[in-house]
Structure 1
């Protein structure tokens, strides 16, 4: 079946799904393959659960006229998404960076939703599968789509841009993330900047942090850009009023008090303000949107439990975000402060050095009560309590959980440190 014919079918059944556990009635099921599964085997199950059609790439599973055989299901999903994007009126905002992508995406979306019919990447569906699914969620009346793009190796952002064809773009920052795939911090900068390269090649609008020297250098000489800055009068000025612990900013005479902790979230708020102003969202609506946003899903989430004041930031971690979290935590008042830090993944040959750096940094910040969890932290040279596994931590806290403490929980997704909540 040609992509244009498949697209006509998709317009009649405009929901794409890849998981039979989440089948939407009258959707199209794409039978993707993975290292541990073969989606073709679930095609009939998807149809039985109400899917209108199933796309497969194994002739053995063509069992009815509701099963469509293609050469490669993943490639078909991507081609359909690109074709659909090019037939939609929506403007696309491409978003990437080492840290803060998802929070920034949510902030931009909630601000622009005050004026426009806006959709955004759900959760963390930001890869070669998630981006196509986001593009296929654009409807005829969608005006703006905020598309988050993740990457852990060179060329991935360029590929995602070829699918999404963004009209605007923003990079949150360049940090020590996915060093195993990118090879170095310079590799991270080159890989993430593929978004800038795409936009500059088509003379499309770039939003940027004008106080970031790396971004300034990358965009030097490019005309179609708009930056925000605390002090540089050549750019849109947004004043940082502090984070004690919640970020407060002043813009156009309005004080905006967010529910986000940490200086690093100031830049995330600024990106949403800048895009809102550029796209003519009234400043009072921007204020209402940002002040109404509450972080969720283990991202700088504030939780009160059994007398403990908890900062749950366990969705993911890398050396840059870990450093920012510790520096923020150090400034929060409290006599009984405890940090639970979990291993940072995908650091390759730099893993030992970066974990030792974080252990040393915690000591420099005079954080006295720190638990280091995971095999990488277990190899560091430090006087802090080291626990090789989560089970070791569970045993350590059994019968003596923290009480009336201010707690930071931070680690990579694979550590699943949100489980600490059950130990408190």
Structure 2
């Protein structure tokens, strides 16, 4: 079935599912395939659970009045999402970057929703499946969409841009993450730069942090219809400075005419530039200062990203959704600047670093131990390879739980950070 024929069916049944556990009444079930599964085998089950139709590509399936056969289910999902985006005709803001994507996306959404009906990527549905699902969830009454794009190798952002067709774009930063897939830091820059490539070729508007030399360099090699700069110097469209970090951030900012202050519910000096990005986009899209401030004030981080967790005994900066050398460095720098009599670092392994893993973990150890913090705990096999007498090294979270049970921490400011696979949330109960 062609996309033009499938689209009216989608409009009649606009809920989409790729998981039989999440099938809703009258939805469309897309039978995707993975390395260890083939959802074609669950198509009849999806229909039994209430799906209106199942989109399948295994041609030897038995004929069924509610099966829609296509050549490739994944490509059909992506093409349908692209077609839907084109029919909507609304402005789309695409953003990517090594760190801060989700927080920046949530800030932008919080700000723009003060004026517009918005749609934004749910959670981190930011890959070749998540972006189509994000687009297909957009309703016709939506006025602005914010689409997060993630990648761990080159050509991914190029594909996601071709599907989502962003009119505006933002790269939060480029850093050392997914080095194995990208082939090193230059590969990261090239991969993330595919968003700039799309905007350059298609007359888009780009928002750039002028303080970031890597982004400036990447932008100079491309030409854009419009460039909106933000940063700390007064020659930017929006500029500002951090005036409080205790532990929540307060930012002073200006558009060149007026100077204002906005208080956030975010911690971490690295979020200063994310706040400025949201302000710049809000200004560009015509929001008032009050609307911008209400949006930033209202956003409270969740999902273990720069989240302040008050336990009975301690204050925990929970930042364990993900970790890479870049985000680890700024998180360590941030806790060093915070005022607290008793600080503790609990740092977990960073994943997907390939051949550079050893060197990058050693660099984190060196940076953390230079701070002179009384208690530093390193958790995971990669960190454990570098055990020394200065800090505590533990092989896994089980050993960490035992250590914290036998050596309880009281009245401390704790940074808890590591890659998602380390499952550091399991130790919150011990803090």
TM-score range, shorter chain: over 0.9
Q: Distance in 2 between matches of 1:234 and 1:253?
A: 14
Q: Does 1:257 align with 2:263?
A: yes
Q: Equivalent residue for 1:149?
A: 149
CA distance in 1, matches of 2:42, 2:71: 17
Displacement after TM superposition at 1:399 (Å): 4.3
387 and 234 in structure 1: CA distance in 2 versus 1, 3 angstrom threshold = closer
1:241 corresponds to which of 236, 240, 243: 243
Q: Separation in 2 of the partners of 1:368 and 1:354?
A: 23
User: Is 1:417 the equivalent of 2:417?
Assistant: no
Does the CA contact (< 8 Å) of 1:56 and 1:62 recur in 2?
no
Moved more, 326-335 or 275-284: 326-335
Question: Partners of 1:24 and 1:279 in 2: how far apart?
Answer: 36
* Alignment match, 1:379: 385
Name the SS for the 1:312 alignment partner. strand
Shift of 1:289: 1.0
Distance 1:277 1:399 in 2: 52
Q: Distance in 2 between matches of 1:69 and 1:54?
A: 8
Stretch of structure 1 that moved more, 237-246 or 370-379? 237-246
Give the SS at the match of 1:396: helix
Equivalents in 1 of 2:326, 2:242: separation in Å?
21
Equivalent residues in 2 for 1:117-266 (5 A)? Answer: 117-220=117-220, 222=224, 224-251=226-253, 252-266=258-272
Q: How does 1:4-403 map to 2 (within 5 A)?
A: 4-220=4-220, 222=224, 224-251=226-253, 252-382=258-388, 383-403=390-410
Report if aligned partners of 1:299, 1:314 keep a CA contact under 8 Å in 2.
Answer: yes
2:313 and 2:409 in contact (8 A); partners too: no
Task: Report the Cα offset of residue 405 of structure 1.
Answer: 1.9
Give 1:89 shift: 2.0
- Is residue 99–residue 173 contact of structure 2 (8 Å, CA) maintained in 1? yes
Would the alpha carbon gap of residues 62 and 95 (structure 1) be closer, same or farther in structure 2, given more than 3 Å must change?
Answer: farther
Deviations 1:48-86 (A, max 9, x none): 221111111113444521111222111111111111111
Tell me if the contact between 1:247 and 1:258 (Cα under 8 Å) persists in the aligned partners.
yes
Are 1:242 and 1:263, in contact at CA under 8 Å, matched by a contact in 2? no
Is the CA contact 1:345–1:412 (under 8 Å) kept in the aligned structure 2? yes
8 A contact 1:89–1:143 mirrored in 2: no
SS state of the match for residue 163, structure 1?
helix
- Quick one: distance in 2 between partners of 1:238 and 1:332? 20
Following the alignment from structure 1 to structure 2, what is the Cα–Cα distance between the partners of residues 62 and 99? 46
> How far is the alpha carbon of 1:367 from its aligned partner?
2.2
- Distance in 1, Cα, partners of 2:36 & 2:231: 47
Mean Cα displacement is larger for which, 407-416 or 216-225? 216-225
Aligned residues: 424
CA distance in 2, matches of 1:145, 1:328: 32
Q: Is the 8 A contact 1:62 1:68 kept in 2?
A: no
Q: Greater CA deviation, 18-27 or 3-12? A: 18-27
Does the CA contact (< 8 Å) of 1:17 and 1:30 recur in 2? Answer: yes
RMSD: 1.4
Return 5+ residue gaps in structure 2 as ranges: none
The 3 A distance-change label for structure 1 pair 50 and 217 is same
Contact kept, 8 Å, 1:317 with 1:344, in 2: the verdict is yes
Worse overlay, 196-205 or 64-73: 64-73
| Deviation at residue 156 of structure 1 after TM alignment | 0.7
- Contact map agreement 2:200 2:225 (CA 8 A) in 1: no
1:240 positional shift: 2.6
Range moving further from structure 2, 178-187 or 55-64: 55-64
Counterparts of 1:277 and 1:6 in 2: how far apart (Å)? 39
Pairwise CA distance, 1:150: 0.4
By how many angstroms is 1:234 displaced? 4.4
Q: Report the secondary structure of 1:87's partner residue.
A: helix
1:262 Cα deviation from its structure 2 partner: 1.4
Native 8 Å contact 2:347 2:378 kept in 1: yes
